[in-house]
Chains A and B, each alone.
Chain A
């Protein structure tokens, strides 16, 4: 209700072109050749793995961490960035996937494929384990998502945080999974191909989903739930779908992580880990997948760069976080600018 607002269309158009943000560059490519890009990314992951023997182990280690963080951040971005459901429980989903898939390869697989299986069988079992881990995490996603649907903003954040902590306490109380000491002796199946192949699939799934008429519903839910419902969008269902898909990939990331570090314990999935992932999403610019990928890379490298200042590492990290929030709350890589609406409605 601002009568002073320019209403003539020319002015409006001029003003709009000034404000209009170019659609994220990646989105056009994805819209045109989505499957080709996915294939290319998978081939690239394969090539990367093929030459992994020539990569300095230190860099290979960082690459793996980057890949896992990309999966985590991109999948959380579907929940946080696109659907607007602030979740602080991503590490919880990750732990479900990590423990489940480790249990499959350690306790179930040997009885299925024998003690000395062929490579193909091992690979098949690993894929199955990752998949089962993802599915169980997705079930956890429903369990967390469903009751949380009535909550918004920081309440949802604290409840998802609580769920993550509850999951941790539960793992701590399962002796078969190592209890508080953690689970050791997970077979070393994870390599660069699996990590980046999964990252590629995860990114594809999120982008393909969001770039569809169905998927615009996620953003509609984030923008205005009441309006979304009034347009026939089942907001409850969308939120659950976002939680399920997000948790599924977090679970797979957990499986990859477990089969890389070879030992997991409940402490490694505490809420600090969830916050790290959230920070990637926020710095990347909520709902901007390309930016989130960059942020995941940057925030994996940052601690490495800060290694020389080991003592001050966390201080610097948290200080930078606060400063960034104060100066660039829309994220480091925000192309889709979130300006204030013209009307303070």
Chain B
């Protein structure tokens, strides 16, 4: 962990995600302007900013929901602009959504199972034929899904429809589902929204745990300063689509531009 910290703070680790001069306009509105973001391997970065700063838009750009008007986005050194969202997920970027988008009618188990789509060998024909290979693969998936559900304390909800889970569990399930795609980079969109202080502490532990256990990078969009400051070693601050600051929590906290953006004049 200590060595990890050092490489991160010096920005020496290999670049995983690289946004260069990204701009997106919707009609006359510039939602994100000339944004440069670099995320290294096994790094936990926070993206903060006041309401309407363009944080979720950044996620939508990275995951292929929107295409940037200008600029380029690279993942593991390859351009990903113009690829469909599912192709970008295949490259190793997974996400959660600000307003929780589980598959409501599927069970908790099936929500995670559906996210194994990228890693299965069977297709239409094998599913119909149901030969030995198919059965073995399905059993393997069942084992992996249950292991993940148990790690995140969702095992007992296995057959419950996702929509009837309590709120906090839904947030957690969404993270588990994203992890099931085996990402190198996990994008979390306001995971602490609607949580009480105890739940927030749990969430912070959970995010650290994910980072350590799965050795992946996390980009965290969050409104809640306490959560971001508590776990991120590097923070990027957006305001009105423009990056106004970047640095360690201490640096960001002390930056007058950030204070101005959050408190207004």
Contact = CB atoms under 8 A, between A and B. Distances in A.
Q: Do chains A and B touch in the complex (CB under 8 A)?
A: yes
A216 B164 CA distance: 19
B138 to A, nearest CB: 6
B167 A219 contact: no
B179 to A, nearest CB: 11
Contact of B113 (A34, A216, A338): A216
B205 interface: no
A216 B166 contact: no
A345 B117 contact: no
A224 interface: yes
A19 B159 CA distance: 11
Contact of B167 (A2, A19, A213): A2
Contact of B100 (A205, A216, A232, A343): A343
Contacts of B117: 213-214, 216-217, 231-233
B177 A231 contact: yes
Contacts of A21: 161
B120 A214 contact: yes
Interface in A189-205: 204-205
A227 interface: yes
Given A19-B161, A208-B127, A213 B113 contact: yes
Given A3-B194, A224-B102, A227-B103, A209 B124 contact: yes
Contacts of A9: 166, 169
B130 A231 contact: no
- Give the interface centre of A2, A227, A229 by most chain B CB atoms within 10 Å: A227
Nearest to A5: B167
A223 interface: yes
Given A21-B161, A232-B118, A208 B130 contact: yes
B86 A234 contact: yes
A119 interface: no
A318 interface: no
B159 A23 contact: yes
A224 B103 contact: yes
A241 interface: yes
A230 interface: yes
A214 B181 contact: no
Interface of B: 63, 65, 84-86, 89-90, 94-95, 97, 99-106, 110, 113-118, 120, 122-124, 126-128, 130, 134, 137-138, 141, 156-157, 159-161, 163-170, 177-178, 180-181, 193-194, 196, 199
16 contacts: A20-B159, A213-B120, A216-B106, A216-B114, A217-B114, A226-B85, A226-B101, A227-B101, A229-B85, A230-B86, A230-B101, A231-B114, A232-B115, A233-B86, A234-B84, A234-B86
Contacts of B170: 343
Interface string A227-266: 1111111111000010001000000000000000000000
Contacts, number: 166
A212 B95 contact: no
Given A226-B65, A233-B86, A339 B169 contact: no
B154 to A, nearest CB: 10
A222 B137 CA distance: 25
A343 B102 CA distance: 11
Contacts of B116: 213
Given A12-B165, A231-B178, A343-B167, 19 more contacts: A5-B166, A12-B166, A35-B130, A213-B141, A214-B120, A216-B117, A219-B105, A220-B103, A222-B105, A223-B102, A226-B97, A230-B95, A232-B181, A287-B105, A339-B164, A342-B165, A343-B100, A343-B170, A345-B99
A217 B90 CA distance: 15
B127 A214 contact: yes
Contact of B115 (A1, A7, A20, A231): A231
Contacts of A143: none
A140 B103 CA distance: 30
A134 to B, nearest CB: 15
B103 A223 contact: yes
B130 A34 contact: yes
Nearest to B90: A232
A35 B135 CA distance: 13
Contact of A341 (B106, B163, B166, B181): B163
Contacts of B161: 19-21
A11 B159 CA distance: 17
